Amino acid sequence: MGQYRIRWVFFVAGLTIIGLGIALMLRGKRFGLGSWDVLHYGLWKHFGLTIGLWSIIMGIVVVLITVLFTKEAPRLGVYVNMLTIGTFIDIFNHLLPDVHGFTAQLLTYTLGVIIMTFGVALYITPQLGAGPRDTFMLLLIERTKLDLKTARTIMEVVVLIVGWLLGGPVSIGTIIVTFTLGPFIQLWMPYTRRLLERWVIAEQTF
């Protein structure tokens, strides 16, 4: 398959898994969503279309703003990220059954967070490019001279407020996801790196 192709398999698989994780979290939305998904949900609630399609549309908007300021075309991974996650959010939203009851929704929501963070770690591991929103965050850091934590916080809070005003679900889970996303991803990273190394070694053996 070749090392480069293996990296792309990991990249796309990670994005697909992120879509599954978000769809599971949507089944337990009473606990709140991540900031960008709050926005996508609010836009869907007000204007129709689908949550996944709004994820893609907002990704396009962010990419266009980034290109406008940098005058540079984003890497291929940015486009793949944008299209894959939104598409699979809608696919899994269609396939997964509704979940009823507090306990069932809590378990589904928790599973969604775990799966989503694993997907993020898996897609980051091959280092084929950040998504549209992360690329925009880096632009924000470059233009404002803010540190990463401050720039990320400002971006997430602004998006969250807009999503909340549009009726997106904000609850205790939103806060938990905001503060546990990084640690969970960090927890998964050693495993995804070893997994990639094993695939590469296995490919070289044949």
Domain assignment of residue 43, yes or no: yes
Whether residue 205 is contained in a domain is answered as no
The pTM is what?
A: 0.86
DSSP class of residue 85?
A: H
Q: What is the pLDDT along the chain (206 residues), one digit of tens a residue?
A: 567 788 898 899 999 999 999 999 999 988 989 888 999 999 999 898 999 999 999 989 888 888 888 777 778 888 888 899 999 999 999 999 989 889 999 999 999 999 998 998 898 888 787 677 777 777 777 778 777 667 777 887 888 899 999 999 999 888 888 777 777 888 888 888 888 888 776 666 55
The span from the CA of 138 to the CA of 153, in Å, is: 13
Does residue 185 sit within a domain? yes
> Does the residue 206 lie in any domain?
no
Asked if the structure places residue 130 within a domain, the reply is yes
Q: How many domains does the chain have?
A: 1
Interacting residues of 55 by C-beta distance below 8 A, sequence separation 6+: 36, 37, 40, 82, 85, 86, 89
Query: Angle at which helices 51-70 and 132-144 pack, to 10 degrees?
Result: 40
Domain carrying residue 89: 1-200
What phi, psi does 199 have (nearest 5°)?
Answer: -65, -40
Residues 6+ apart with CB under 8 A from 5: none
80 in a domain, yes or no?
A: yes
- Cα Rg for the chain, rounded, in angstroms? 17
